[in-house]
Amino acid sequence: MRTLVRRSFLIRLALLALAVIFAGVIYSSTMWLRGVRVDLTSDHLYSLAPGTVHILDDLHRPLHLTLYFSRHATRDIPQLRSYEQRVRELLQEMVMRSHGRLKVSIVDPVPYSDDEDRALGAGLTAMPGGSNGERVFFGLAGKSASGTDLSIPFFDPSQEAFLEYNIARLVYELDAPRKPHVAILSTLPIDGSAISGTPPWAVMRQLHQLFDVKMLDPASFKSVGKDINVLMVVHPKNLSNAALYAIDQYVMHGGHLVVFVDPDAEMDALPVGSLAGTVAGSSSDLKPLFRAWGVLYNPNMVVLDRARAMTISLGDNTAPVRDYAVLGLGPQDLNHHDVITASLQNIDVSSAGYFELAHNAKTQLIPLIQSSGEAMPTPADRVRGTADPTQLYNDYQPTGEHYVIAARLRGRLHSAFPQRHDAGHLNVMKHSGEVVLVADTDLLSDRLWVRRTPFLGEQLLSAFANNGDFVANILDNLGGSSALLSIRGRAISQRPFTRVQALRRAADVKFRDKEKSLENELAATEQQLAKLQPAKAADAHPDAKAKKQLEQALKRKLSIRHQLREVQHQLNAEIDALGMRVKAFNLLFMPLLVMALGIAYGWRRQRRSGRKDGT
């Protein structure tokens, strides 16, 4: 008896010791392994990009972010609730990597509360459609120690691929609140002219609001200031060697460049007040630099596209016509995997050129905007010299290629002046860089994207295309931290059922021909019935032969319909079987595993007790 009491006491003492050890291990691992995680997703969905880590490591001041999410109002919107969890986990990961400089609060702005007022005051967008008609908030407000306030008005689940980029950009701009410095070198009067009294183009009015813009004189331009974040070159026509060398070395030293060239710049020679574009334009090129970078661009060729041609008016007394050189490019022509064009819907261009890569180029040309497969190139003189766009229809032969109108050029670029030995000269970039190339300058002009409406002596501008957004996105993307450029669109958290999709495709191939033949046979049988039915109606006592034919046709129709139902079932049979296997595995495997372990443990314990009793 004393032995049993002692054994029971030792067992309780051992269990208590195990409990203490377990609690100690859990607490120690929580403290020691804080921030240590393993991302086993195939696309590293929950790992921060190196650019994001670099931005967080270089934070200069404490930042506070507030995630506003209407949890109660979205109780019937599972898609938003799931995406909110994705956003919250990403923010928590960024907090853990920020060394205490980044703080995040999560607030549910219930209706008519102070939190709702603060969300609206921070610039967040309230979307309708919540439960009981409530407004839904799902945005991020940021505040720095210096008092700078920025926000992401609403997290759109369709833009999940750019979630990390958008949040990292917000953090970067809060930490470095000054506007990016943009220098613009243009031979077109895009910033207006005090001499002629022409106002700035609408795109320049927008850029002056978003950036610190400095206009450069093409005649005297010889260098780019070190404070310039982005150099924007528009219609580089007849630039001096000194200007070309300045652009070249700016890029070699890691500067960010965007170039707008054009085989037919219609706004180059337009007189004041002209909107029709009938005056001959001129071409522009950066031939020495393009050749050194492996870029092929022909300043004498224009892209025509009959699938994207826009309708224009030639005058008051003429009917509108389609112009194959004036293109309205839609979502299918824009790269929605790139942050610059991801959220854009349509961009209008006119007499645009195109880019290609040389065969020996070591760089990448990533399209941002391209034509449809119904396009073809034609000499710029043909477009420039015709007053009637319908003449471009003659001898139209589409090539089937998609011509790249705008693109990122990525890689370690080489200098176009390897023979120069000036102080600080570089023949090749130290690190991989990027240049954005656009083969049209007319897209910057007002006539292709804004409509002017007089109102109380002022001109109200309303945009009907995303040309201005496209330019602003380029400068915003290039003008940020170089770390921001390394944050690409990430994979989305909602993964497709690739196995189910593969089964569906295989089933379609296997059964679609059979289904089609049965449908054709059914149609033929119904036609036969239609011929027999009138004969039956006309003859109250049809002969045995006609009656037999009618019965056979009806039976055949029923048989075909039954076979069609079987084919439809077979189309989904394998998918349903896979679903059942997955459900069975999820529902039965773990309980069976626990039962097996319990049985094994009980058998082992019983066997051990039997041995002790036997001794």
CATH at residue 135: 3.40.30.10
Same domain, residue pair 129 and 191: no
- Provide the 3-class DSSP secondary structure of residue 280: coil
Q: Do 295 and 382 lie in a common domain?
A: yes
In this predicted structure, what is the pLDDT of residue 36? Answer: 55
Q: What is the pLDDT of residue 22?
A: 80
Q: How far apart are CA 177 and CA 61, in angstroms?
A: 11
Of the residues 120, 144, 175, the one at which a domain ends: 175
CATH (domain of 194):
3.40.50
Residue 45 included in any domain:
no
Residue 452 forms part of a structural domain: no
Amino acid in the structure at residue 153: P
Residue position matching structure tokens 């070159």: 233
CA distance 304 to 322: 11
The DSSP secondary structure of 582-610, one letter per residue, reads: HHHIIIIIHHHHHHHHHHHHHHHHHHHHH
Is residue 160 situated within a structural domain? yes
My answer on whether 232 and 85 are in the same domain is no
What is the residue whose two structure tokens read 């630099």? 289
Mark whether 155 and 294 lie in a shared domain. Answer: no
Q: Which two tokens stand for residue 404?
A: 């790249």
Outline where DSSP puts E strands in 359-511: 364-370, 375-379, 404-411, 433-438, 450-455, 458-463
Let me know whether 340 and 363 are in one domain: yes
How many domains, in total, are found in the chain? 4
Is there a single domain that holds both residue 245 and residue 362? yes
If asked whether residues 106 and 62 sit together in one domain, one would say yes
Q: Tell me: do 154 and 193 sit in the same domain.
A: no
Q: Do 503 and 592 belong together in one domain?
A: yes
Domain boundary among 136, 160, 175: 175
- Domain range enclosing 80: 50-175
Per the CB < 8 A criterion, the answer to whether 571 and 508 are in contact is yes
Domain-embedded: residue 455: no
Return the number of other C-beta atoms located less than 10 Å from residue 413's C-beta. Answer: 24
Dihedral pair phi/psi, residue 554, rounded to 5°: -65, -45
Domain assignment present for 465: no
Q: Is residue 197 part of a domain?
A: yes
Domain closes at, from 175, 205, 233 = 175
Domain-embedded: residue 280: yes
Q: How far apart are CA 297 and CA 439, in angstroms?
A: 9
pTM beyond cutoff 0.85: no
Q: 433 and 321 in one domain?
A: yes
Cα separation values, 497 from 570, 578, 579, Å:
19, 11, 11
Q: What is the pLDDT of residue 274?
A: 40
Residues 122 and 195 in one domain: no
Give the list of residues 6+ apart from residue 280 with CB closer than 8 angstroms, or none: 269, 384, 385
Q: What is the pLDDT of residue 569?
A: 67
Q: Quote helix, strand, coil % in the chain, to nearest 5.
A: 45, 20, 35
- What is the mean pLDDT of each successive set of 10 residues along the chain, which is 615 residues long? 66 80 73 55 66 86 93 87 92 90 93 89 87 85 86 86 86 84 95 81 89 93 93 95 96 96 85 41 91 96 94 74 92 91 90 95 95 95 83 88 97 94 92 95 93 65 88 89 63 52 54 62 70 53 66 73 68 66 72 80 74 60
Whether 311 and 427 map to the same domain: the answer is yes
Residue 295 maps to a domain: yes
